[in-house]
Structure 1
């Protein structure tokens, strides 16, 4: 059957089935189970109205249970069994085996690196793009170009960037954009500015930003008068964790800035970028940042436009400059939206699979948890360890989901 015709039939059956379900279920409810007639007419109407919402919710609840609830329970069961032993119960043996494998800890380390870099950079670029595009006349056109990568699948984007990182022999013409640029440097002043000075400035700027974040968090934890509340009980430990993470990133940034100046760069030699340990992870992250920046920009642009003009006008009258208006007036008012965008991208990062699978398949120290799970389930046919890694991913995602639901309900109240 022609795929187009098959798709059309599927749509007709799906839509027709939904319409038929809602129509006939209401008919049975009103005409058979609780008919609005006789001496119990009023009670039947009330009962029907109590059941009717559940009729509408049942398809969604059934689908969620079938495609989300059941797989979670079955995955948990499989993680406690051994396929080679005929599905026998082995307790936490699969988790113990997983924890003993270096590839699992490599995947955990890389996932943590992705969690630190991708949400921060994608959100920052999205916020910057939202602010700048709203200040120019052709901002909508610019937004369209920035948002366009969102229409590309992760695999498609990975193929595009794989061509950008492509490597040919030194005596051949380079079709990879990055290698073509790399070979343009020969160790002169341009090489020093672009490959040493500029990266060092970016790293030092990032370190300064982390230091400013530490300053804000520390000052927020210091008491400013008797009886001043510092917030909820978990806010102080959370801030301390962020302070320690920021301090660690400052150390890494300074260490990297020094290594940029001391490293010996192989000028004139094409580089296989995706095989360079540690740095190849950042080349993979660039793909997801490129995609998610458009999403962050659209959400944050709408939030920026919702800021009351009175607050900005008052700041201008008080003599605030554009930077003060942006960082001290606008950003605090949209902090809730920034956090939502950050956590949404974090969820995407925790489940990242397509980009790594299409570009490196987890080789050269680029393994991530989802790709590790795929290798165990479909390559090694080890459903126990594969299901255990899936449970680990779910446990990492769960706190963020709970936190998002908690904040959404708090805003509704």
Structure 2
């Protein structure tokens, strides 16, 4: 109960403080001559935000850059040794390469799958369209850690001759194959982890792209059909060009999320077996 009251009081003071700050600044500016009031009033509202960004983002970034030329204890100047380590240490290079793979693969596949589902679901009846979209979007409600735990059972491995509790290995061995260590096999483990993120983000892509497709003017589609265009030609030459801006927004949003990937790798492999990423190196370095 005490923690709850502390939180409520902190929020009240924070919100009240911001309101009081803007009221005081606005009152001060309104006392100035009209010429100065017009010029300064916009800065009354964006000034505090810029100050916070400068204090908590720009200054730490500049200070981090300065410290990159210092030793581990941030006292002795070491020049470019840290940058040399960055490009010569195999573990760092692996993490950077894995991040590049994530950046290329995840947004691309999430957009492709989301777009495919949006197009196909649009051709279903209203009831089945809602059901199919809900099923695809549902994983968005799951945290990265929760999703990793779920997929841990999908990729689970047991020795040959024992019951396979992993979904993939159960299916694979049912067709006569040998159990595969999906997360230890360096040829496929990165993509196995990326599949989790794609599964989580495909629903997000589907929702936005579906809305964009529904806003494509039907006149342009009907005109293309009258001209003899096939459904595939209509999709690529009429629909896609008109939703291109939405595709870019969706891909960019997912890419920003992928740049911060950490939870999935940490939970599933802890960066072992060649799956390390830059965020995980922040802990292990």
Q: TM-score, normalised by structure 2?
A: 0.91
Equivalent residue, structure 2, for 1:364: 273
Cα deviations by residue, 1:12-42 (Å, 9 ceiling, x for unpaired): 22222222222222223335xx2xxxxxxxx
Deviation of 1:172 (Å): 4.7
1:143 maps to which of 133, 146, 167: 133
Structure 2 residue 95 is the aligned partner of structure 1 residue 107: yes
Equivalent residue, structure 1, for 2:58: 69
The whole-number CA distance in structure 1 between the counterparts of 2:34 and 2:120 is: 57
Equivalent residue, structure 2, for 1:291: 200
* Structure 2 residues without counterparts, runs of 5 or longer: none
Equivalent residue, structure 1, for 2:48: 59
Distance 1:333 1:364, change over 3 A: same
| Map 1:169-318 → 2, pairs under 5 A | 169-170=159-160, 172-186=162-176, 267=177, 269-318=178-227
Deviation of 1:318 (Å): 1.4
1:82 maps to which of 49, 57, 71: 71
Deviation of 1:169 (Å): 4.2
The whole-number CA distance in structure 1 between the counterparts of 2:212 and 2:22 is: 37
The whole-number CA distance in structure 2 between the counterparts of 1:275 and 1:10 is: 47
Cα deviations by residue, 1:235-280 (Å, 9 ceiling, x for unpaired): xxxxxxxxxxxxxxxxxxxxxxxxxxxxxxxx2x433321111200
Deviation of 1:134 (Å): 2.1
Deviation of 1:52 (Å): 1.6
Equivalent residue, structure 2, for 1:250: none
2:148 maps to which of 158, 161, 171: 158
Deviation of 1:312 (Å): 0.4
Structure 2 residue 30 is the aligned partner of structure 1 residue 30: yes
Deviation of 1:150 (Å): 2.1
Deviation of 1:293 (Å): 0.8
Equivalent residue, structure 2, for 1:120: 108
Distance 1:110 1:297, change over 3 A: same
Equivalent residue, structure 2, for 1:213: none
State how many pairs are aligned.
283
**SS class of match (2:191):** helix
2:82 maps to which of 78, 87, 94: 94
The whole-number CA distance in structure 2 between the counterparts of 1:160 and 1:17 is: 43
**SS class of match (1:274):** coil
The whole-number CA distance in structure 1 between the counterparts of 2:236 and 2:213 is: 12
Distance 1:2 1:154, change over 3 A: farther
Distance 1:177 1:375, change over 3 A: same
The whole-number CA distance in structure 2 between the counterparts of 1:3 and 1:176 is: 42
* Aligned residues: CA RMSD: 2.0
Deviation of 1:141 (Å): 3.3
Cα deviations by residue, 1:114-155 (Å, 9 ceiling, x for unpaired): 233212111101111111222221223322332222222222
Does structure 2 conserve the Cα–Cα contact (< 8 Å) formed by 1:118 and 1:349? yes
Structure 2 residue 232 is the aligned partner of structure 1 residue 329: no
Deviation of 1:171 (Å): 5.3
Deviation of 1:76 (Å): 0.7
The list of structure 1 runs, each at least 4 consecutive aligned residues, that deviate by more than 4 angstroms after superposition, is 169-172
Greater shift, 335-344 or 88-97, is seen at 335-344
Does structure 2 conserve the Cα–Cα contact (< 8 Å) formed by 1:278 and 1:365? no
The whole-number CA distance in structure 2 between the counterparts of 1:9 and 1:52 is: 30
Does structure 2 conserve the Cα–Cα contact (< 8 Å) formed by 1:119 and 1:346? yes
